Amino acid sequence: MSVKSTQSSYRDRTQEFQNVAEKLKQSLSSASNAPSSSGSKAEGPRSAVLIQSEFNKRASKIGFGIHQTSQKLSKLAKLAKRTSVFDDPTMEIQELTAVIKQDITALNSACGRPAACLQFPK
C-alpha cells in the first residue's frame, strides 16, 4: 500500500480571523461608548415586558369592574321584578341605577387606556 503525497487544501487564515475579531471588539467598544444605541437595545425587551405587564394590570382591573357592574345589574333586575305594595324598592332602584351608570362611564373611559400604554414612543 503506497501513500500518495497530496497537496493539502489547508490555508492558514489565522490573520484573517484575528482581523475580524479585532473589528468586532472595536465595534462593541464603540457601541458601549454610545449610550443611546446600546441603552435602547438593552432596555427594549425589558421595557416591552413592563408595558405588557402594565397593560395586563389595567385590563384585569377593567375585567373586574365589568364583573362587579354585571353583579349590580343582576341585583337591579331582581329589584325591578319584585313588586310589592308594602315594600316599594323605587329609591333603591334609582340609587343602584345611578351607581351602575357611573360604573359604565368609568369603564368606558378606562377601556381606552390599556391600548394607549401599548403605543411605543417614536
pLDDT tens, position by position, for the chain (122 residues)?
A: 555 556 667 788 888 888 888 888 887 777 666 555 444 555 567 787 888 888 888 889 999 999 999 999 999 999 888 877 777 888 999 999 999 999 999 998 888 765 555 554 43
Look-up: residue for cell 479585532?
22
Parse the chain into domains and list their residue ranges. Answer: 15-116
CA-to-CA dists, residue 24 to 6, 27, 78, angstroms = 37, 5, 73
3-state secondary structure of 112: helix
Give the pLDDT confidence score for residue 12 in this predicted structure. 83
pLDDT attached to residue 80: 87
The per-residue pLDDT for 117 is 53
> Whole-prediction pTM value?
0.54
Collect all residues with Cβ–Cβ distance below 8 Å to 97 and sequence separation of at least 6.
Answer: 76
